[in-house]
Amino acid sequence: MKILDAEFVKGFIRMCDDGFNQNWHERNGGNLSYRIKAEEVESVKEELDQNTSWQPIGTTVKDLAGEYFMVTGSGKYFRNVILDPAANTCIIEIDESGENYRICWGLVNGGRPTSELPSHLMNHEVKKIATNGMHRVIYHAHPANVIALTFVLPLEDRVFTRELWEMATECPVVFPSGVGVVGWMVPGGRDIAVATSELMKKYDVAVWAHHGLFASGEDFDLTFGLMHTVEKSAEILVKVLSIRPDKLQTITPQNFKDLARDFKVTLPEKFLYEK
Ligand code: 2HA
Ligand code: ZN
């Protein structure tokens, strides 16, 4: 099969375009990666070049040895992915040591995989283990309302989780384990990758202060939906805080417990504190 005819490639391209249309990807902001299923790799094998040279990832991801990923390119713009996927994205293979990658398809005009490759791959490794291989998508975007909140809320998991949960009843059902927060760090390197992947052991969402958001999920719909839900909730909170600094009424800890019972989700007690 031609790569551009594969369903996973179409899903990847659509997600990039949807993210751009949400205004989450100014310039070259954000990046997306998908851990390709073995049968999907097999279906496009004829188009994969296995003679390119290995490059260092910048970290070690032993549990991803031999895996293939579709990823956006470093410095490439999400708005251009739909126009020319082969120039703006690539498919990479991880070597047996988990320390190197090679480009098997794409980036036809040159370039490298996303600058956040260490964060993406370390998150994939953690999530592959934590979800028994179910999670396949890692998505980084720059949604304005979540970023705005990182200037006015304490940079604590318990505060971000609770405030976001309170803004929309669906939130605790969509991200019941909560949201992690990474304080400001230099992006692109191993240190921020380690900090983020540590949070991803517990959460499916990690906020990068004054920068953006990482989300992990099983497929494109669920991961895009997660990003969308968190940002929508942040938007409501920004509106509420803009109207007045306090709330007249809100969803209470008891309300959350009732919701958890009926929707059969487990909400960690640490987020259900009395204020
Ligand atoms: O430019 O979003 O974090 C891509 C990024 C870096
Ligand atoms: Zn970014």
Q: Which of 116, 125, 231, 235 is catalytic?
A: 116
Q: Mutate which of 26, 27, 74, 116 to test ligand 1's pocket (most atoms within 8 Å of Cβ)?
A: 116
pLDDT at 157: 98
Kindly report, residue by residue over 143-166, the tens digit of the pLDDT.
Answer: 999 999 999 999 999 999 999 999
Q: How confident is the model at residue 71 (pLDDT cuts 50, 70, 90)?
A: very high
CA 58 to chain CA centroid, nearest Å: 19
Cα 137 from Cα 215, distance rounded (Å): 8
pLDDT at 1: 95
Three-state SS annotation for 66-98: CCEEEEEECCCCHHHHCCCHHHHEEEEEECCCC
Q: Does the Cβ of 214 fall within 6 Å of ligand 1?
A: no
Q: Are 104 and 68 in contact (CB under 8 A)?
A: yes
Q: Are 62 and 98 in contact (CB under 8 A)?
A: yes
What are 7's two structure tokens? 């369903």
Mean pLDDT of all residues in 17-28: 98
* Cβ-count burial 27-39 (b if 16+ within 10 Å, e if not): ebbbbbbbbbeee
Shortest-distance atom of ligand 1 to CA 114: 4
Q: Mutate which of 20, 25, 27, 28 to test ligand 1's pocket (most atoms within 8 Å of Cβ)?
A: 28
Q: Does the Cβ of 187 fall within 6 Å of ligand 1?
A: yes
pLDDT at 244: 96
CA 190 to chain CA centroid, nearest Å: 17
| Binding site feature residues for Zn(2+) | 140, 142, 211
Kindly report, residue by residue over 215-240, the tens digit of the pLDDT.
Answer: 999 999 999 999 999 999 999 999 99
3-class DSSP state of 163: helix
The answer to whether residue 116 is catalytic is yes
Q: What is the CA(253)–ligand 1 centre distance, in A? A: 36
- pTM beyond 0.85: yes
Q: Does the Cβ of 31 fall within 6 Å of ligand 1?
A: yes
Domains, the chain? 1-115 (3.40.225.10), 139-275 (3.40.225.10)
Q: Are 167 and 236 in contact (CB under 8 A)?
A: yes
Percent of the chain with pLDDT over 90: 100
Task: Indicate which residue's Cα is closest to atom 1 of ligand 1.
Answer: 29
